[in-house]
Amino acid sequence: MRIPMIAGNWKMNTTSAEAVALVKEMRPELDQIDNVDKVICPPFVSLAAVKELLKGSSIKLGAQNLYFEEKGAYTGEISPLMLAELCQLVIIGHSERRQYFNETVETADKKVKAALKAGLKPILCVGETLKENEAGKTEEVLTRQLSSPSARSYYLSGLTLAYEPIWAIGTGRAASGEQANQTIGFIRRHITRQCGREIAQSVRILYGGSVTAANIAEFINQPEIDGALVGGASLKANEFLSIVKQTSSFKRGK
């Protein structure tokens, strides 16, 4: 049984005051829902304040990135050890990091390893560009992004994957539920070949890219999809609550 996860990626949005206000608005209702893993990932600078607010809450806290060294002369970077004091999860290899900050398959892999060593659960993002998609290269790209020789230990340690087709992120042009299910099915078959059926069946794989309260049902109804990584819609309390509630009632009904 894979517990569904809805994770909000706030990206570079909200001041600390805004983050606190948003959490205060959502917490009471989110705390009522117990069959979905609810995760919020505010900017680094709000993590400490949000952690305080989430004392005694079932909402989990995540960061959006980390650096793979534990400490040292890396001006401006944040280490896994620093994050482990503040939160439980961390998004790694988001396509915006790959696109704007030159992250590669190799750096994402180092970050996953460092996160797990510090006791953080990674949400590793993978996905293809529009050009790759149109050239029929989706499977090839995903295979490359999921080729780590340590994959088996990552999955056993509780890594979550997020399939985010880059053409669907922030564009309002989500993949269809069927399309996302097919590609996530491919990812699961890839993990089966890599690590065996038992591990592949245990890995949570989320869909991400223009998920809203209006389209979440389409994704969560699909057998391979275990939840969503939500960007824009996670900044609106009502939208995010509705996404979590719909996920919860679908899973209850199953």
Q: Which residue stretch of 36-44, 74-82, 185-193, 205-213 sits at the interface with ligand PGA (rule: CB under 6 A)?
A: 205-213
Q: What is the full DSSP assignment across 159-201? A: -EEEE--GGGTTSS-PPPHHHHHHHHHHHHHHHHHHH-HHHHH
Which residue, 103 or 200, is less far from ligand PGA as judged by CB? 103
Judged by CB under 6 A, does residue 169 bind ligand PGA?
Answer: yes
- The answer to whether the beta carbons of residues 184 and 228 sit under 8 Å apart is no
Q: Which residue stretch of 29-37, 44-52, 68-76, 204-212 sits at the interface with ligand PGA (rule: CB under 6 A)?
A: 204-212
Judged by CB under 6 A, does residue 209 bind ligand PGA?
Answer: yes
Judged by CB under 6 A, does residue 220 bind ligand PGA?
Answer: no
- Determine the Cα–Cα distance for residues 4 and 123; give it in Å rounded to an integer: 13
Among 37, 164, 218, 239, interactor with ligand PGA by CB under 6 A? 164
Which residue, 81 or 217, is less far from ligand PGA as judged by CB? 217
- Determine the Cα–Cα distance for residues 6 and 23; give it in Å rounded to an integer: 15
- The answer to whether the beta carbons of residues 86 and 36 sit under 8 Å apart is no
Collapsing DSSP to helix, strand or coil, 70 comes out as coil
- The answer to whether the beta carbons of residues 112 and 149 sit under 8 Å apart is no
Which residue, 177 or 209, is less far from ligand PGA as judged by CB? 209
Residues marked active site are found at 94, 164
Q: Which residue stretch of 41-49, 62-70, 225-233, 242-250 sits at the interface with ligand PGA (rule: CB under 6 A)?
A: 225-233
Q: Which residue stretch of 42-50, 129-137, 203-211, 244-252 sits at the interface with ligand PGA (rule: CB under 6 A)?
A: 203-211
* Min CB(46)–ligand PGA separation in Å: 17
Nearest residue to 85 via CA among 58, 111, 63, 108: 63
Radius of gyration of the chain from its Cα atoms, rounded to whole angstroms: 17
Among 4, 5, 6, 9, interactor with ligand PGA by CB under 6 A? 9
- Determine the Cα–Cα distance for residues 149 and 106; give it in Å rounded to an integer: 11
Among 62, 93, 165, 208, interactor with ligand PGA by CB under 6 A? 208
The one-letter amino acid code at 115 reads A
* Min CB(229)–ligand PGA separation in Å: 4
Which positions lie near ligand PGA, rule CB under 6 A? 9, 164, 169-170, 208-211, 229-233
